[in-house]
Chain A
């Protein structure tokens, strides 16, 4: 099986792709921090999928007799001002965090990739216009821009996702453009063009796949920032609305009790830090494997 994966002359595209994935995987396993990061992200995904099985209590069920209880054997992270189990809410909050980061990546990365690839492939005035717009977005403070967009769109989780995606795409456009320029004039692209492929086909089938690995690295590294921005919007009351157990919003609720019941605000914060760290570790590891040149520069 492993011999088949590591075969130097793969007989099918599937075999080549799987072989490459296997090589990346084994290289990642040699980096202990990357493994830790991958485990944290895995735990996040498992918590999100199996939240009802993992959480001991309901995330919204109130129990006013047991409000603001300190961490104990029954309530690992204590209870909040409505007697809700904080641990259960943190577990369910994984769903919201995962939803936000996935949606932002799914919206922002393709937009950035297409803008960057088109810009780099055609060059000339197309390039100048598209990169001008990209640079304007890049020179803006991200959090403030996201805040202003949410202010115009109205609070809520969908609008928070849109606002963060609007601030996240320019980085990917820059990466895709830089990659595209390096192989725009290479022979395999000319060969495809001589076969009569349209520009759309060249970009979609031949240019974009080659930008994928550096984009994946960048997206993973950006995840921590996206989580922090989403939590910040939630903290300001502009992201997920109550009673949704969003981590930032939970910290905001715990603000009033920070001096006496510290656990209400601090526990969701630990979840944010852990997940952000996980994505940082994984991103660093992926960069070392997929994009070693970038690693040297940093």
Chain B
């Protein structure tokens, strides 16, 4: 066969491109299947908790004060006489069409309740993670470059406390010290009662809604209320992020290319921030993603302490009134967001790290 460089190269190139595109599609598909499988697993767990674990699932949905007619209607609607697998697919169908059932304590669809309370949690967790990242990353870098210094010790202690201090206890102590004792911050709730209900919910995030409405009083008041709970959440992510940043940085600083850069006479600041910090940014994305997801979980306890009307408070109230649809709905939403954040940081890692690309 004659050697034809131009067409040969072109076709080789083409087939290579096609191969890459195919690989890309295949990896996206594989990823979609993994995500779908995980969500199906999540649904299987909530289904199991709601229908299999309770002795009488109907009673756990309608509550023990329900009349006989309500009970029978719910029993019919849940289709408990059908085989479990049929019930499960009916449940999956309901969830996919946005039907999480009715809440017995609020009397509204659980989906509507969740949509109403979710922004409060999102706002608190977001401010929390910002605090954690803005303070935690520089602290971790300094701890790595000044091993054994006081800041290194502080991060060690913070890291340990992050594992051993109950969030709800820290919330109570924070309220006692900074609200009741020193009067530095506002108390429980999202805004003072005086401002309650004055804002039209656009995004549901008070900080943004108040700016849109031009109500700066409410903005500062909301920020005042947000500071303490968000700082406590931020403390837990700070402890984790600083510890991880420190160990990533130590890994990099021990590598030979850092020594080379130093020998070349690159300034220490440039060595740290341009050479050593550059590659760990990608690892940090995963760490930050994980701690953001953990904050959503941690907010359950903090919201209870601060009477914060978010999804955590909704969940704990539902737990105490044995409002099973609300419990499962909130579990499902928190679980889904948790999984989503994990998967997204996974994807970002793969896109940004050339070694993880295949």
Contact = CB atoms under 8 A, between A and B. Distances in A.
Contacts of B334: 141, 144
A168 interface: no
Contact of A151 (B176, B300, B324): B324
Interface residues of B, number: 52
A43 to B, nearest CB: 15
Contacts of B338: 139-141, 144
Contacts of A273: 161, 164-166, 169
A58 B160 CA distance: 33
Nearest to B60: A152
B45 A151 contact: no
B297 A143 contact: yes
Contacts of A132: 37, 41
A236 B327 CA distance: 14
Interface stretch (A4-12, A67-75, A103-111, A255-263): A255-263
B175 A235 contact: no
A269 interface: yes
A272 B166 CA distance: 8
A290 B183 CA distance: 49
Contacts of B167: 232
B71 interface: no
Given A147-B315, A151-B322, A228 B166 contact: yes
Interface string A260-287: 0010011001001100110010000000
Nearest to A136: B41
Interface string B37-73: 1100110111001100110000010000000000000
B contact face: mostly helix, strand, loop, or mixed: helix
Nearest to A276: B164
A102 B164 CA distance: 18
Contacts of A144: 297, 300, 315, 330-331, 334-335, 338
B335 A298 contact: no
Nearest to A150: B319
A231 interface: yes
Interface in B289-309: 293-294, 296-298, 300-301, 304-305
Given A139-B38, A232-B168, A151 B319 contact: yes
Nearest to B318: A151
A235 B316 CA distance: 11
A135 B50 CA distance: 21
Given A152-B53, A224-B163, A141 B335 contact: yes
A276 B159 CA distance: 13
A240 interface: no
Contact of B320 (A149, A231, A235, A237): A237
A27 B345 CA distance: 39
A147 B53 contact: no
A24 interface: no
Contacts of B168: 232, 235, 248, 251
A181 interface: no
Contacts of A255: 172, 305
Contact of A232 (B44, B301, B342): B301
A238 interface: yes
Contacts of A236: 304, 316, 319-320
B319 A147 contact: yes
Contacts of B38: 135-136, 139
A223 to B, nearest CB: 10
B173 interface: yes
A194 interface: no
B328 interface: yes
Given A237-B320, A280-B163, A141 B169 contact: no
Contacts of B324: 151-152
Interface string A92-105: 00000000000000
B45 A136 contact: yes
Given A132-B37, A143-B297, A266 B173 contact: yes
Interface of A: 132-133, 135-137, 139-145, 147-153, 224-225, 228, 231-232, 235-238, 248, 251, 254-255, 258-259, 262, 265-266, 269, 272-273, 276-277, 280, 298
Interface of B: 37-38, 41-42, 44-46, 49-50, 53-54, 60, 160-161, 163-169, 172-173, 175-176, 180, 247, 293-294, 296-298, 300-301, 304-305, 315-316, 318-320, 322, 324, 327-328, 330-331, 334-335, 338-339, 342
Given A136-B37, A151-B322, A228-B166, 11 more contacts: A141-B294, A144-B338, A145-B45, A148-B46, A149-B53, A152-B53, A231-B169, A235-B301, A255-B172, A273-B164, A280-B164
